[in-house]
Amino acid sequence: MNIAGKWTIDRAPDLTGRTAVVTGATGGLGYEVALGLATRGATVLLTGRDAARGARAVEALRARVGEARAEFLPLDLASLRSIAEFARGLKERTDVLDILVNNAGVMASPRRQETADGFELQFGTNYLGHFALTGLLRPQLQRAAQGGRVVSVASLAAWQGRIVFDDLQGRHRYSPFAAYQQSKLANLIFALELNRVAQSNGWRLHSVAAHPGWARTDIAVSRSSAPQGIVERVMRRLVRVGFRALGQSAEAGARPILFAAAAPEARDGGYYGPGGRGERRGQVTEARIPPQALNLSVARRLWSVSERLTGVALS
């Protein structure tokens, strides 16, 4: 499907009176998504781990959008306790959540690290944390006037990903990029399965996925000071060079995510990204889905495992 015209957030409807949560919004794609939603009048709750960065992000957003309704709330997706505390706090302030953008992420951590709950850092933060957050916020999402919209941010890296059920946490064999690819494939599988479950159960909830192409953000181009092998050093250099030469700005990378979050044309179960060569950059269009993301038995097994690991029953 080609989306008519060059879609920008200006074409989205007025979002005044609606509330959006954007994870990982203190910089990069998350900040650009929060900014875009604020320009359409939404009340935007920016989340992240660093309160100082959060305050700066809100200040910068308000400088761009004078009447913006924006606030920073602490949330560490590498901690199930933090996620539960965030969900309780949000419930106290509002019964309704219109938009949830599951954006926050960690990319290719050089050394295997674990979350507070013992999950491999990338799988735990990028995927399991968002799975738990979505489950805990589902009641508020379902109370939204038009049904809450959940946007899962995937990546072109999902094409190289596979779900290794025998070693989800990378305890036996850890590869920085393979772990990242698995986490992003899991996000896409989750978005598609959430749509199927929502429709089969009659939930007033919309699940949409998006990817930013090759967006030049800190997560993609930052250097690591940790010890690295030759292969990893080459991979990181290729990523930095490739993103800078062939990628697009964070603002452009945020457009498919904003389309998924705010455009009436975004369909339930849809997947959106840039329409240029290799989906690396360009105008918003419907993205191709990796075949491994369409395996129903894998999706159902991943869902079941995720409920067990997080202790959050989403179905």
Q: Annotated active-site positions, please?
A: 180
What is the rounded distance in angstroms from the CA atom of residue 301 to the CA atom of residue 152?
A: 19
CA angle 312, 118, 114 (to 5 degrees): 120
Residue 136, beta-bridge partner list: none
* CA-based torsion, 133, 135, 139, 144: positive or negative: positive
Structure tokens given for 314? 């989403």
Residue 153, beta-bridge partner list: 210
CB-based burial label for 296 (10 Å; 0-12, 13-18, 19+)? exposed
State whether residue 158 is helix, strand or coil. helix
What is the rounded distance in angstroms from the CA atom of residue 159 to the CA atom of residue 190?
A: 15
CA distances, 241 to each of 223, 234, 246, 279 (Å)? 12, 11, 8, 17
